[in-house]
Amino acid sequence: MPKSISEQIRQQVIGIAARYGFAVQLKARGEDYYIKNLMFYSESLNQTVYVRKDRAVGAGGIPAYFHVAVHPEFFNKTWVLLAEGIEELINRQKNRNLHSSSNYKKFPVFPENNEPCGMCFKVADYEALAKLFQRMAGAENSETVAKNLAHSAPQSETLIASADNTVESGESPVPVRSVASMNKVPTKGLVIKSPYIEKILAGSKTWEMRSSATQVRGPIALIKKGSGQLVGVANLIDVKGALTRQDKLKAMDKHQIALDRLESGETDKWDTAWVLEGAQSLIMPINYHHPSGAVIWVNLDQQTQEKLVLAMQ
């Protein structure tokens, strides 16, 4: 049986749809109507939208993309913007955008099918999904929506995956307070190489060792060096140093530098600990533009900050 999206991702999708007036349709007991599809309805538009729960789902219930189906008469080709991660989904068997499912109630039945058919979008990530729902709802403009999202983020509990992005079968999502429920979205990203960034996201490393102090405090994004992606968020709460080799030997559980490297002296220059707390992985990494010459910090542009807002809803 195909894998289904995790409960955390399901909640993210429901939250995005709700912001644009599309309410998830549930049975009386609170279950989804369908095993394979989330069904959303907009009363103002009198339109139903389906998001597949079992398309290209990998480890931890994370989909490679979102499969979104609409009534053929509602489908609008102007909503397809490849640069923003929204493309038309072509049925390879029919060589056209026409996808059948018994779930697509009130969608038309075409002569070559025995089931109702919809037209579909292939949507790259949360940001693209929000833009598609925005366009379907006829929202005024992305700038206004982004401001509304930014203002509403501090009041919400967020769902961000654990370091291994896994959810136990049948487990309910656990709200986790992170940067989205604080005073602001990160405006800076800290570049950290492997394997240290993975240790930070796993919660085993809380000191990021550097050769100098920083004045930055508060929510930051975490960038995996060389990946071109934001992979997590954390709070930078303090700086400690300069630390002696003996200080670092006593705090190996915090910085996670191997004993042989500490004793060899090769890490002596890294005598300042940047103290992190609440580090968490994003369910889906966010691509960003890396400016030339940026080595430690990256100032996140407005578009990247908006992606973070959506990723942390």
Task: Please spell the DSSP secondary structure of the chain, one letter per residue.
Answer: ------HHHHHHHHHHHHHTT-EEPB-TTS-BS-SSEEEEEETTTTEEEEEESSSSB-GGG-BSSEEEEE-TTT--GGG-BGGGTEEE--BTTTTBS-EE-TT-TTSPBPTT-SSBEEEEEEE-SHHHHHHHHHHHHT-S-HHHHHHHHHHHGGGS-B----TT----TTPPP--B--GGGSS----EEEEE-TTHHHHHHHTS--EEEESS-----EEEEEEETTTTEEEEEEEEEEEE-PPPHHHHHHTHHHH---HHHHHHTTTTT--EEEEEEEEEEEEEEEE----TT-SSEEEPPHHHHHHHHHHT-
Convert the pLDDT of each residue in 120-157 to its tens digit: 999 999 989 999 999 999 843 444 444 444 443 333 33
Confidence bin at 181 (pLDDT 50/70/90)? very low
Global pTM value:
0.51
Q: Is the pLDDT of residue 18 over 80?
A: yes
Q: What is the pLDDT, as a whole number, of residue 313?
A: 55
Q: If you average pLDDT over residues 247-260, what whole number do you get?
A: 90
Convert the pLDDT of each residue in 187-205 to its tens digit: 999 999 999 999 999 889 9
Q: What is the pLDDT, as a whole number, of residue 174?
A: 29
Convert the pLDDT of each residue in 75-102 to its tens digit: 999 999 998 899 999 998 888 999 999 9
Convert the pLDDT of each residue in 225-236 to its tens digit: 999 999 999 999
Q: Is the pLDDT of residue 2 over 90?
A: no
